[in-house]
Amino acid sequence: MEGQSVEELLAKAERDEAERLQRITVHKELELEFDLGNLLALDRNPPTGLRRAGPTPEAELQALARDNTQLLINQLWQLPTERVEEALVARLPEPTTRLPREKPVPRPRPLTRWQQFARLKGIRPKKKTNLVWDEVSGQWRRRWGYQRARDDTKEWLIEVPGGADPLEDQFAKRIQAKKERVAKNELNRLRNLARAHKMQLPSAAGMHPTGHQSKEELGRAMQVAKVSTASVGRFQERLPKEKAPRGSGKKRKFQPLFGDFAAEKKSQLELLRVMNSKKPQLDVTRATNKQMREEDQEEAAKKRKMSQKGKMNSAPPRSGGKRKGEHHQGGKRRK
Amino acid sequence: MRPLTEEETRVMFEKIAKYIGENLQLLVDRPDGTYCFRLHNDRVYYVSEKILKLAANISGDKLVSLGTCFGKFTKTHKFRLHITALDYLAPYAKYKVWIKPGAEQSFLYGNHVLKSGLGRITESTCQYQGVVVYSMADVPLGTHILLRYKRPETGDSFANSSQVQLKKKKSAYTLENILQGKIWPS
């Protein structure tokens, strides 16, 4: 009994082993190509199974996916592993497939002012050494930057030049000059950047540092300065002949594109109602013409009576009645 | 693209109401869907809500047209009605004028229609009235303003004008005596 059970157990274990092996071994005619750096497995076997499948190849697709994934995992298990914080980690090799660019190629930037000038003049950058021998400190110092070789702001003794004011602080003057140079450099850099990105720089009160500005720019700067008060320019006086600035009103606000359609319809119908109510129900020309016609008829009738009476009293009858002037052409005559 | 302002809506409605009168509210308030007027590049388009929602996905500078163009606003903000609006004006027209086949061709090339070219006309059309011009086969051709038209000035003008209509069918020459003046395009 036990022996049988042991045999059974062994057989069962063997069967299990075979099954497991079968599960993890996949037979493919052509070997797959692996790019483990990208976790990529390329299967070049012809998809005969899929072709035979019919309209719904779901089961076949799933089987194919399972097989290929199994092969990929098998490859991953063969990589050198290491332990990182209680987790077993496989180190992936470098990816061999070259992926395409994610973003498009960057456009060439417009040249800066110096680059344009240099190109025009044909100036090429001279190769310079990074370090320069500094006599004062007796060591090799940088050409520019931190602890540079010839820094005129760091001098401990400055001779007052001949024509300068003796009470002027020369050290402060040098520091001031440096600050101005730095600011100018920064401004130029920003301007180059703005030109490259075609953006507008928020100018310091619209004034140009060197003072060469066009009339329009000065006008704009003046307007901005006027509006930059606490009451947004409401109480700023104007010169006697100065004209009011154009286009300084509020920007027009329109209704949103998909506003409330029902509300729009209602307001339009309301507008139509008002328009129709304003129109006179009485047609004025028709009414006046009718009135004039009636008056003419009355006059004609009266004249006829008079002429009849006259006829009876005196002379032979005239061809009264239909006279040209009395014929109905009311509107035209009155016009 | 934006909706029309109050002022613009008023100007446009006044123009359209010349031809279709109070039937304009049938264009504004339709039973078979929400239609609205939208302004794009100074032109007014009559478009259903569904198409408007689709057109909103196109950028303004690339959008050429949407729905039906009813007309445009000129530089001095006057509204000029276009021929593309005819499909919507013709069914609601209050005063109609039918012109004879001979005059039809001349009319389509932009000439005036003389009294001899006139076939039928809606009764009680008064002077300076906006009319829709049809061919004899009831095909709408365009819109106009009627000038210097005088109806017969008799007491019972309604009955007489209907008699006149009948007479027209028999012979056009009787009509010539009654109608005077030209019909000019708007």
CATH classification of the domain holding B176: 2.30.130.10
**Domain's final residue, options B43, B68, B89:** B89
Number of domains in chain B: 2
Q: Return the pLDDT at A327.
A: 46
Residue A86 has pLDDT above 50, yes or no: yes
Compute the mean pLDDT over every residue in chain A, rounded to the nearest whole number.
Answer: 83
Mean pLDDT for A71-100 is 90
Confidence band for A69, pLDDT divided at 50, 70 and 90: very high
**Domain's final residue, options B74, B89, B104:** B89
Mark whether B19 and B85 lie in a shared domain: yes
Cβ atoms within 10 A of the Cβ of B35, count?
21
Residue B152 has pLDDT above 70, yes or no: no
Residue B167 has pLDDT above 60, yes or no: no
Distance separating the N- and C-terminal Cα atoms of chain A:
135
Nearest CA in chain A to B155: A290
Q: For residue A272, list chain B residues with Cβ-Cβ distance below 8 A.
A: 13, 17, 22, 24-25, 28
Mark whether B84 and B111 lie in a shared domain: no
Compute the mean pLDDT over every residue in chain B, rounded to the nearest whole number.
Answer: 80
Mark whether B151 and B100 lie in a shared domain: yes
Write the CA distances from B132 to A262, B14, B86, B140, B146, integer angstroms.
31, 16, 9, 7, 10
Distance (Å, rounded) from C-alpha A317 to C-alpha A332? 30
Torsion angle in degrees (nearest 10) through CA of A313, A317, A322, A325: -70
Q: Return the pLDDT at B186.
A: 34
Mark whether B102 and B118 lie in a shared domain: yes
Q: Return the pLDDT at B79.
A: 95
Share of chain A above pLDDT 70, in %: 87
Residue A251 has pLDDT above 60, yes or no: yes
Indicate the angle between helix axes A2-24 and A58-77, nearest 10 degrees: 100
Residue A34 has pLDDT above 60, yes or no: yes
Mark whether B70 and B99 lie in a shared domain: no
Mean pLDDT for A257-274 is 89
Mark whether B7 and B84 lie in a shared domain: yes
Q: Return the pLDDT at A213.
A: 81
What does the block give as tokens for A62?
A: 């799933």
Q: Return the pLDDT at A56.
A: 84
Q: Name which of A72-76, A184-188, B11-15, B156-160 the model is least confident about.
A: B156-160
Confidence band for B170, pLDDT divided at 50, 70 and 90: very low
Mark whether B82 and B13 lie in a shared domain: yes
What does the block give as tokens for A222?
A: 């003046």
Distance (Å, rounded) from C-alpha B55 to C-alpha A297? 64
Mean pLDDT for B10-20 is 92
Provide the b/e sequence for A250-260 (b: ≥16 CB within 10 Å). eeeeeeeeeee
Q: What CATH number did the domain enclosing B10 receive? A: 3.10.450.220
Q: Which residue has the higher pLDDT, A116 or A243?
A: A116
Nearest CA in chain A to B22: A276
**pLDDT tens digits, one per residue of A101-135:** 999 888 888 889 899 999 999 999 999 888 999 88
Sheet of strand B130-135, all strands in order from the earlier edge strand to the far edge: B118-121, B96-99, B130-135, B140-146, B183-185
Mark whether B101 and B173 lie in a shared domain: yes
Mark whether B110 and B124 lie in a shared domain: yes
Distance (Å, rounded) from C-alpha A19 to C-alpha B44? 76
Is A270 in the B-facing interface, judged by CB distances under 8 Å? no
Q: For residue A264, list chain B residues with Cβ-Cβ distance below 8 A.
A: 3, 36
Of A43, A22, A47, A21, give the one whose Cα is nearest residue A33: A43
Mean pLDDT for B161-172 is 33
Q: For residue B126, list chain A residues with Cβ-Cβ distance below 8 A.
A: 283, 285-286
**pLDDT tens digits, one per residue of B31-65:** 988 999 999 999 999 999 999 999 999 999 999 99
Is A258 in the B-facing interface, judged by CB distances under 8 Å? yes
Confidence band for A248, pLDDT divided at 50, 70 and 90: low
Mark whether B102 and B85 lie in a shared domain: no
Mark whether B123 and B153 lie in a shared domain: yes
Residue B123 has pLDDT above 80, yes or no: yes
**Domain's final residue, options B44, B62, B89:** B89
Name which of A256, A264, A272 is nearest B25 (Cβ-Cβ): A272
Mutate to test the interface with A, among B28, B39, B124, B148 (most CBs of A within 10 A): B28
Q: Return the pLDDT at A38.
A: 92
Of A257, A273, A266, A275, give the one whose Cα is nearest residue B11: A275
CB contact under 8 A, A285 and B56: no
Q: Is B113 exposed, middle or buried (0-12, 13-18, 19+ CB in 10 A)?
A: buried
Write the CA distances from B100 to B145, B167, B176, B180, integer angstroms.
18, 16, 14, 17
CB B163 within 8 A of CB B129: no
Mark whether B50 and B101 lie in a shared domain: no
Q: Return the pLDDT at A120.
A: 95
Name which of B2, B34, B154 is nearest A257 (Cβ-Cβ): B2
Name which of B6, B14, B153 is nearest A330 (Cβ-Cβ): B153
Per the structure, the complete domain to which residue B83 belongs is given by 2-89
Share of chain A above pLDDT 90, in %: 28
Q: Return the pLDDT at A270.
A: 92
Q: Which residue has the higher pLDDT, A21 or A204?
A: A21
